[in-house]
A and B are shown apart, each in its own frame.
Chain A
Amino acid sequence: MQVVVNGERRQASVDTLAALMTELGYIGNWLATALNGEVVPATERQNCRLAEGDQIEILAPMKGG
């Protein structure tokens, strides 16, 4: 299925957020995730089912003022 990760279309062959992150190479305990505008805590990514067209945000610490 197709999903949108950080604004870019991606082909996903898996159906959970945790598996998608592994598939795309998003690995690290500093990442935060949201699905369709709702926060998905790290502990819930295994159970977070994906659907066609889902909008996923994967964020990381960055410099800021």
Chain B
Amino acid sequence: MLDLYGAKVSSRLLLGTAQYPSPAILMQAVQESATEIVTVSLRRESVGGKAGGQFWALIQDLGVRVLPNTAGCHSVKEAVTTAKMAREVFSTNWIKLEVIGNHDTLQPDVFALVEAARILAADGFNVFPYTTEDLVVAERLLDAGCKVLMPWCAPIGSAQGPQNLAALRSLRGHFPGVPLIVDAGIGRPSHAVAVMELGFDAVLLNTAVAKAGNPVAMAAAFAQAIAAGRAAYLAEPLEPRDMAVPSTPVIGQAVFS
């Protein structure tokens, strides 16, 4: 079981709720993925609008935990204010903390991220920081009170897959007891397998499922991949070797000469 701020979850797939072709397909994808945690956001409601209420009812029907995000925030103040509003609406201390620093790459502003994380952790939030794979930033986030880290493996929505496996491996090695969730950049189930085999605790997906030709089938494929990657990590994979090593016994081999 994965322990996230005291919550025990079986599924190691966290799923975003944006960009699906329809609410019905979103619901089916969530069910097929067997996820126990979905991400949501807060946006301006139109006058007399019911869209927010309808969406919230749909999510509540799914019976999963929600992880509200601060997507689109570019400053500490925006992120902290959004987090506080999310806490009230969604009745949870969980917050996926995003403070964006670059429009093109949606790279987190890690300096503002650490500051916002410190403010929110001190205010009782359970912070899930969307960060880079930088080891020192990770240490600062833990110092700030984060007990979970969510490094990207490539830019949000890029589907590039892990761009810096060495750094991800280093993170895993340095923080053996900290839940590490790869958030952003996964495009295919093979990418998810790769990071799970490194020992990452979970994967957060959205675009890779929602924008697939068949989001429901892709949700199932990712669920299997993540489970396989986890099982492989626990089974301790062989490390690559420079030279060939025969698998068939050499002793007892016939001699024909």
Contacts and interface: CB of A to CB of B under 8 A. Distances in A.
B88 A64 contact: no
Given A32-B88, A61-B90, A37 B81 contact: yes
Interface residues of A, number: 26
Given A37-B81, A59-B43, A62-B42, A31 B52 contact: yes
B89 A65 contact: no
For this complex, into which size category does the number of interface residues on chain B fall? 35 or more
Interface string B34-69: 000001111111111111110110010000000011
Contact of A62 (B19, B48, B52): B52
B88 A61 contact: no
By CB atoms of chain A within 10 A, which of B16, B53, B71, B157 has the most? B53
A31 B89 CA distance: 6
A51 interface: no
B44 A57 contact: yes
A64 B40 contact: yes
Interface string A24-54: 1110101111100111011000000000000
A34 to B, nearest CB: 6
B55 A28 contact: no
Nearest to B52: A60
Contact of A24 (B43, B47, B89, B206): B47
B77 interface: yes
Interface of B: 16-20, 26, 39-53, 55-56, 59, 68-69, 71, 77, 81, 84-86, 88-90, 156-157, 206-207
18 contacts: A24-B47, A24-B48, A26-B47, A26-B48, A30-B56, A32-B85, A34-B81, A37-B77, A39-B84, A39-B88, A57-B44, A58-B45, A59-B42, A59-B44, A59-B89, A60-B43, A61-B41, A62-B52
Interface of A: 5-7, 24-26, 28, 30-34, 37-39, 41-42, 57-65
